[in-house]
């Protein structure tokens, strides 16, 4: 028991000492891996992806990805500075690439490395749709979601070790624990954690697209196209890493007016035409 208490005490100390502040919510978040480690690793992974992919340059679509990305980055800088986080993006190295692939996907790595796949362009449909996607993906990086997921994985692994040590003298209990821990910790912990990140990125992203001059009403319309592309098929919400399409659409609709109000704070009172 003393050993287990020691483990718990050390875990609490490590957690308290390894926290960061989410600049959008003000909440403390897990940060067991610092940006000084995370960013170089992310940059190296990004470069590896580029060397293994068909990167498109010089086309209207490639130029659009860069243009939208730069506007979202400026919006992020303005928002963060206005809210007391000047210099937050100092170590970011923004880069925007379009990759030839049928994958319906886009992502932003920690530190601002962004990739769009051509497969998502028909669903984006226009530059405003690209801005909705870009805002969401950039939001994941700005809110340190990658850092939090890595930290959560460490906690998940650490608790598994603690459980095995605590039950080492009871073979039956140990067997039950090992059979159930992975499923329970995912369904009750990791998946809800991931869904909360997606919802948070939707809110941050729609604010950023509005501040960048793109109509936030289009964010929910984009997700209606996403839903149609998926054929309406999705796992039960509690088994998914993402919120359901319907809840996402409704949430974005409710956030649109708030995003417009936020944009007005930065002098944005009208939006670019949707084309």
Beta-carbon contacts of 271 under 8 Å, excluding residues fewer than 6 positions away, are 128, 210, 213, 214, 215
Checking 65-69 for CB contacts under 8 A at 24+ apart, the result is: 65/96, 65/97, 65/98, 65/114, 65/116, 65/130, 65/134, 66/96, 67/127, 68/96, 68/127, 68/130, 68/131, 68/134, 68/212, 68/214, 69/94, 69/96, 69/114, 69/134, 69/138
Choose the catalytic residue: 52, 86, 95, 137. 137
95 is catalytic: no
107 within 8 A of 176, measured Cβ to Cβ = no
Q: Which helix (H) or strand (E) holds 13?
A: helix 2-17
Rounded to 5°, angle at Cα 54 from 72 and 133 = 25
Q: In the chain, count of helices (H) and strands (E)?
A: 10, 6
Catalytic machinery residues: 137
């Amino acid at each position: 028991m003393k050993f287990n208490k020691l483990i718990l005490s050390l875990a609490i100390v490590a957690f308290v000492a390894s926290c960061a502040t989410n600049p959008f919510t003000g909440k403390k978040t897990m940060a067991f891996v610092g940006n000084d480690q995370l960013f170089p690793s992310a940059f190296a992974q990004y470069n590896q992806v580029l060397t293994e992919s068909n990167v498109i340059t010089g086309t209207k679509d490639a130029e659009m990805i860069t243009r939208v990305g730069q506007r979202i980055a400026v919006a992020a800088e303005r928002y963060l500075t206005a809210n007391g986080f000047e210099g937050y993006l100092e170590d970011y190295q923004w880069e925007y690439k379009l990759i030839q692939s049928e994958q319906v996907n886009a992502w932003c790595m920690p530190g601002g490395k962004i990739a769009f796949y051509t497969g998502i362009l028909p669903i984006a449909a226009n530059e405003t749709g690209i801005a909705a996607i870009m805002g969401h993906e950039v939001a994941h990086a700005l809110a340190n979601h990658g850092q939090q997921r890595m930290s959560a994985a460490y906690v998940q692994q650490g608790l598994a070790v603690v459980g095995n040590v605590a039950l080492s003298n009871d073979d039956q209990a140990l067997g039950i624990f090992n059979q159930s821990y992975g499923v329970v910790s995912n369904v009750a912990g990791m998946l809800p954690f991931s869904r909360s990140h997606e919802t948070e990125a939707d809110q941050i992203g729609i604010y950023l697209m509005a501040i960048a001059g793109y109509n936030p009403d289009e964010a929910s319309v984009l997700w209606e196209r996403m839903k149609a592309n998926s054929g309406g098929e999705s796992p039960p919400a509690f088994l998914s890493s993402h919120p359901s399409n319907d809840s996402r659409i409704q949430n974005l609709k409710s956030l649109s007016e708030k995003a417009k109000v936020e944009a007005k704070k930065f002098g944005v009172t009208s939006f670019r035409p949707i084309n």
